Every structure is written in structure tokens, then in C-alpha cells.
Chain A
Amino acid sequence: MKTRPIATAMAIGAGLIVLSGYFIPALDFIRIEMIQWAVVAGGTAALVGIGNLFTVHFQKVRRREKDSFYSLTLLVSMLGTLLAGMFSLFFNRSLAWLQPAVNAIIVPVEASLMALLAVTLLYASIRLLRRRPDWMSALFLLSAVTIIGATAILPLFLRDIGDVILSWMSLLLAGGGSRGLLMGVALGALTTGLRIIFGIDRPYGGK
């Protein structure tokens, strides 16, 4: 039995009820309750995704594929964190036992990857000027350099001028552009959302 029509009906029905909740105050509590159910479904989808990640790397280790040592590292660290978290919840009713994993692994690696980004972005901006030496690239980099200069490099006695440049650039010129981009994104989300609610687009597996 195929569930495609049921999935489409679920998407249209749930979408219409939740959308109605925004406009009809009497339906607001249903909207909030249905969003809570979607959080449960989303959480389960996250667990399914993590389960899939586990399966893929488990198969790599079982077949002894090339670089399966890294997959083994991933599996051991995932299972270790999962077990520590479950024991912590069971005995401590909190995630306190996971705090060392966050402090020693997640935070330093995230910060280091962010630090790598500083070098990568600098390299990318130099490459941009070499590969696309047009006025758009020049204006883009000029505004970036002006903002960084006005906030970080200017000596103290020039800070007032820096503040004026900063407010002109970021509040007025970039403000108008970012408002346009924001409204464009919202209009895009609006049309895509309506296409899903009316069953024209079916990103849940239907055609």
C-alpha cells in the first residue's frame, strides 16, 4: 500500500489548520498543540538521522573500508556520549555528566573551526579580486574593509569619524539592502510555503 496520498492529505490538512490558527484566534490553541506534535516528529526525525549516521559508519567499519579508523572514532565517541548522557539522565536527572564532553571537545573544536574560517575567508576574498576583478567585487570588499577598519583598526582619536562611517554604512546603506534581502527571503518563504500547503510541491517524498 502506498502512503503518498495520505502524506499529501496530512501536509495539506495540517498546513491549513496551522495557518488558520494565525488568523482565527479561536484556533490558536490547536495551532500551538499541532506545532508541539511537529516538534515530537522533528525530534524523532533527528534520532532517525543519527541512527542512519551510525549505520553508515558501522557498515564502513564492518567492511573494513579505507579510512574506517575515522568511522570507528565516530562510532565510539557517539556511543560514549550517548551512554554518558543516558546514565546522567537516569542517575542525575540532568546532563551534568556530559559537560566535560562539551567543554573539552565540542567548544574547542567549534571555536577552532571558526578560527579556521578567518583564514579561509581572507584567502577567499583575495582570490575573489584575482578571479573577478569587477566593480561589484571591489565595492563588496571595500565595504567589508571599511567596516572592519572603522570598528577595529582606527586609532582612538579617529573613532568619532569611524562611528559616523559605521552608522552610515551599516544602518543606512546596508540597512536598505538587508531589508530588501530580508523581504525577498520572506516572499520566497511565503510562496514556497503556500505551494507546499496547496500540494503543488511535495518535499516529503510525493511527486
Chain B
Amino acid sequence: MPNLEFVEFANSLIGFILTLMVLSYLIGDNPLFRFAVYLFVGVSAGYIAVVTWQQALMPKLFLPLIQAPWPGRVLYLIPLLLFVLMLMKISPRLSWLGGPAMGYMAGVAAATAVGGAIFGTLFPQILAAAEPFDLGAADPLSSIFNGALLLLGTVATLAYFHFGARRAPDGSTRRNPLISLAAGIGQVFIALTFGVLFAGVYSAALTALIERIGALIGLFF
């Protein structure tokens, strides 16, 4: 059994070397960066394969096929069939057999996306947009003002993505002036929103940079 401290030091040393290799990209694309990235892709692919086997295929297909009581076990022949059909995608000659499994997956994914969009996003967001207009709130005036500003942002942002236009008698196309005005306001909200999102991503990246520099310094000092 290797010494735990040695294993930890070896892990840190490999991490240190790989960090330097990746950060060497700052001076341009180079073999060290490429080696680190290919190594990362290989290890990640192997890891994903093992996790997929352990978390999805074993508990949801093979274990029930072996252990489930008899009448219920027959039900697992359907995912087994999907598994076999999907595996046919490996061979270029037999890949057409994987079509039904792909179709099944696309259908389930589409239905889940529709259900998620309706019950997970649209309904909750509409209810949340209406909530500030509750006159029973502690400070109704401030709540209504905030709610109106939020609603303006939501409607204007949605209007920005409405690209419908009417054809004028002279052949040119024109947007409805009201939609055009709302789209202009929406542009301001979109720019602000993306700015805030950019700030969030940048902060996360900056935190990672500080953590990596800390790890580089911390290994030897």
C-alpha cells in the first residue's frame, strides 16, 4: 500500500506540471498544451465510460435483468433491445439498425423538453412576473414599481426576438412601430443582461486563475 502522503504529493506534482502545460497556451499553441489537452480528453473519456457503466447501464439494465422477479424482468427486455440497437451504431454497415433507438431517444428527449419548458420554465416565470403586483404586499408601491420594471424588461426582450414585418405598398418591409420601439428597449435590457452574465463567468474564471496560481505557489512554499 503506497504511503498516502506520497500519493497526495505525486497528485499535486502532476497537477502542477499539467497546470504549467495548459497555461503555456498564453504564449501560443504549443506541443506541451496539446499533450495536456489530449491526456485530459483521454482520461475524461475513460472516466465517463466507467461512470456511464456504473451509474446508468448496471443499475438500470443489467442488474434488474439478473435480479428482478420474473414477471417484471420481461419489462427490461425493452431497454436491452434499445441497448443492442444503439450498439449497432458502432459498425458503419449496421448503423442503420440504430435508427429506432435514436428515434426513441429523440422522442423522449423532445417530450421531456416540452414538459420542462411548460412546467419548469413558462408557468413558474409567468407566476413570478405576476407576484410583485400583489396589492397585499408590505410595500405595494415599491413592489409594483419593481414588478413593472421587470415586466418591461421581459416583454421588451421577447419583442426584440420578434422578427415579423409587413410588406409596404412600395415593396419594402416594415416592422410594426410598437414592436420596433419595444425591441429597441429590449436591446438595452439584453446588453445589460449579457453584461451581468459575462461578469459572472469572468469572476468564476478569475477565481480559477487565482486558485491555480495559489496551487502552483503552494506546492513548494
CA distance A114 to B23 in the complex (A): 10
Q: Which of B25, B99, B155 has the most CB of A within 10 A?
A: B99
Let me know if A51 and B90 touch, CB within 8 A: yes
Instruction: Tell me if B190 counts as interface (CB < 8 A to partner A).
Output: yes
Question: Which bucket holds chain A's interface residue count?
Answer: 35 or more
Let me know if A173 and B192 touch, CB within 8 A: yes
The residue from A21, A148, A187 contacting B202, defined by CB atoms under 8 A apart: A148
Chain A min CB distance to B58 (Å): 8
Closest residue of chain A to B80, judged by CB? A40
Let me know if B202 and A176 touch, CB within 8 A: no
Let me know if A183 and B115 touch, CB within 8 A: no
Set of chain A residues within 8 Å of B191, measured between Cβ atoms: 136, 139-140, 143
Let me know if B18 and A112 touch, CB within 8 A: yes
Set of chain A residues within 8 Å of B107, measured between Cβ atoms: 10-16, 18, 196-197
Set of chain A residues within 8 Å of B12, measured between Cβ atoms: 104
Set of chain B residues within 8 Å of A141, measured between Cβ atoms: 195
Total contacts A-B at CB 8 Å: 417
CA distance A174 to B192 in the complex (A): 6
Let me know if B154 and A118 touch, CB within 8 A: no
Instruction: Tell me if A59 counts as interface (CB < 8 A to partner B).
Output: no
Closest residue of chain A to B212, judged by CB? A115
Let me know if A39 and B158 touch, CB within 8 A: no
Chain B min CB distance to A162 (Å): 13
SS of B interface (majority): helix
Let me know if A180 and B157 touch, CB within 8 A: yes
Let me know if B202 and A175 touch, CB within 8 A: no
In B22-81, the 8 Å CB interface with A consists of 22-23, 25-26, 34-57, 60-61, 75, 78-79
Given contacts A73-B35, A176-B152, A181-B190, contact A104 B205 (CB under 8 A): no
Set of chain B residues within 8 Å of A36, measured between Cβ atoms: 60, 79
Given contacts A15-B108, A180-B155, contact A112 B14 (CB under 8 A): no
Let me know if B122 and A196 touch, CB within 8 A: no
SS of A interface (majority): helix
Chain A min CB distance to B107 (Å): 4
Set of chain A residues within 8 Å of B157, measured between Cβ atoms: 176-177, 179-181, 184
Let me know if A176 and B189 touch, CB within 8 A: yes
Chain B min CB distance to A54 (Å): 8
The residue from A40, A118, A142, A187 contacting B195, defined by CB atoms under 8 A apart: A142
Instruction: Tell me if B141 counts as interface (CB < 8 A to partner A).
Output: no
Instruction: Tell me if B117 counts as interface (CB < 8 A to partner A).
Output: yes
Q: Which of A35, A84, A111, A146 has the most CB of B within 10 A?
A: A111
Set of chain B residues within 8 Å of A146, measured between Cβ atoms: 195
In A38-52, the 8 Å CB interface with B consists of 38-48, 50-52
Given contacts A11-B107, A44-B83, A86-B50, contact A116 B23 (CB under 8 A): yes
Set of chain B residues within 8 Å of A39, measured between Cβ atoms: 56, 60
Chain B min CB distance to A187 (Å): 7
Instruction: Tell me if B112 counts as interface (CB < 8 A to partner A).
Output: yes
